[in-house]
Amino acid sequence: MSAPQRLRPEPAAQADSATPTAISASGLPEGFRPTGAEDRLPSLLSYALAVDAGTDPTPEAAPARRAEAERLLHDWAYRRLHNQLERIRAEAAREALAGQRQPAGFMTVLAAVLAGLALFALLAWLAQAFGLSLPLPRG
């Protein structure tokens, strides 16, 4: 069994390198080179898609790969936005529920019903004691 390999370099190795190296896009074939800073990610992704597909990254294939890369980036951005909105909604719902008080329990509702019945019985007894009655229509 071989020794496990580290995915990240050791902190001492990072201290030796003074500046982090950035991936240069100038080594890309014609058609895949970015024209500006905002064009860099679609350019690199289109080149990666061409290499991943096993085709030669020719200038003729660049527009199709660029369109595919932009579509994939758009889909990713839409999914990320949707997931972020769902996370915000869930957090807002949790905060709204946390701000509400607990609903009345069974014993509280039972006590309220019994108090209402007792009040009704008291009023009915007082009405009968003073000779008050509701005129009921006779049919």
> Contact 43/34 with Cβ under 8 angstroms?
yes
Sequence spans of domains, the chain: 28-103
- Measure the CA angle with vertex 56, ends 55 and 61; round to 5°: 85
Q: How confident is the model at residue 12 (pLDDT cuts 50, 70, 90)?
A: low
Residue 30's closest CA among 56, 62, 68, 66? 62
How many whole angstroms separate alpha carbon 66 and alpha carbon 73?
A: 10
Q: What's the pTM?
A: 0.51
* pLDDT single digits (tens) 57-81: 888 888 899 999 999 999 999 999 9
